[in-house]
Structure 1
């Protein structure tokens, strides 16, 4: 999926506003600076993120430029382009993974919090950054559908701080990447946890969060591609070490 294209002059205006803010090139990756100069799709994503599903606002171009500057700074500080989990990552980290596509062709990120290790939160955070950075459709600035498989997750398994970080990534440090977030079979005991973290979501993002039970996920992902962790026929399973 791609954000609606914007006129070249609008993209260039946002670029110019960003350039006026980005006076210290050492704060950013050179590759990020080069990409924003030519990638209209990426500029469109940043603008769509600021508009959050609403019509244009008078200052949305200024806010978009500020977001680009903030995201690019964050990426350099957190060494996003330097991360590499392509070879032999810690097995427990791979309980987050891309597999298949939704009904609209968006890549699906499956997350199985049941297997998270709170002692490795920092590594999970880095791995999430790396996954998003290297997602199948990243070059096209595509969106993703996220599935949180919570069927076997209770209060003792929930890492609230990681969930906050997870949401922050998609709210503040990526450009309109989250198409929708499917929360599957969440136990009612976790309602309080969700209320705590949902305040971090914008109103537009809240509308993209879906609480689904059992086979309701088939309305968003082709039935044959629904994984066994949420009751689907795809036999792929994350195997705990």
Structure 2
């Protein structure tokens, strides 16, 4: 697996500046709807969230403050901390299109999107809530850990490819979880979908393109070892999806 460029580490002063200015802004121009107490407690209790955001934004304090504010507003309006399995579209939750299973070579969970099960007729909003549910679930189980977005194109055809849906997933990670992606893997992209995928790459931000990898059975082992690869990917795992509550 090719090494990643090391990200510069924020200083204590930068972390403190983000936190201080965020809370000062809340006093001088409080949000119309108060931010979620759980999210504010996470900022108060430790510096991990701000640290990871500063890393994601290459130590740009101004950008970090703006994006953190926007993120807090989104999390409140979207009801992120209230999302439970019972509040999700049960058909989509159990059909195996979006789920977490196994891990990559860096021990980051694989958030798998099985595009052979995708249809444009599905509600994009309902699907994205399931993406958010899984990211939040993984980051609760291991505090704010990274995840690898694994777009499994095995057996997918033109009817399964949904550029708007892929764009929406990428946007969720770019704007809501910029510190979360370890890799973005597109596996077994059919030749017929190459042209469409060029469109996808055209709207991906530079940070996403840096960690984007298109793999086949021949080279998936660089990112996911054989025991963590499903048999349909050329690995040893004969796992069949079944949703398990946490």
Range of TM-score over shorter length: 0.7 to 0.9
The one of 26, 29, 38 aligned to 1:31: 38
**Distance in 1, Cα, partners of 2:135 & 2:203:** 20
Cα distance change on mapping 1:198 and 1:130 into 2, 3 Å: same
**Distance in 2, Cα, partners of 1:136 & 1:235:** 26
**Distance in 2, Cα, partners of 1:72 & 1:43:** 12
Structure 1 contact 8–40 (Cα < 8 Å) conserved:
no
Q: Could you say which residue in structure 1 is the equivalent of 2:12? A: 8
Structure 1 contact 106–143 (Cα < 8 Å) conserved:
yes
Q: Could you say which residue in structure 1 is the equivalent of 2:57? A: 50
Q: Could you say which residue in structure 1 is the equivalent of 2:3? A: none
5+ residue gaps, structure 1, are: none
**Distance in 2, Cα, partners of 1:102 & 1:217:** 10
Do structure 1's residue 123 and structure 2's residue 130 form an aligned pair?
no
User: Which structure ranks higher in relative contact order (CA pairs < 8 Å, sequence separation ≥ 6)?
Assistant: 1
TM-score (norm 1): 0.86
How do 1:66-77 residues align onto structure 2 when only pairs under 5 Å count? 66-77=66-77
Alignment coverage as a number of residue pairs: 230
Q: Could you say which residue in structure 1 is the equivalent of 2:166? A: 163
Cα distance change on mapping 1:41 and 1:88 into 2, 3 Å: closer
How do 1:200-215 residues align onto structure 2 when only pairs under 5 Å count? 200-215=203-218
Which is worse superposed, 3-12 or 230-239? 3-12
CA shift, 1:107, in A, is: 1.4
**Distance in 1, Cα, partners of 2:47 & 2:89:** 33
Structure 1 contact 147–181 (Cα < 8 Å) conserved:
yes
Structure 2 contact 104–223 (Cα < 8 Å) conserved:
yes
The structure 1 segments of at least 4 consecutive aligned residues displaced by more than 4 Å after TM superposition are 86-89, 136-139
5+ residue gaps, structure 2, are: 1-6
Residues 5-37 of structure 1, C-alpha deviations (whole Å, 9 max, x = no match): 643332111112222333325342111111112
SS of residue matched to 1:215 = coil
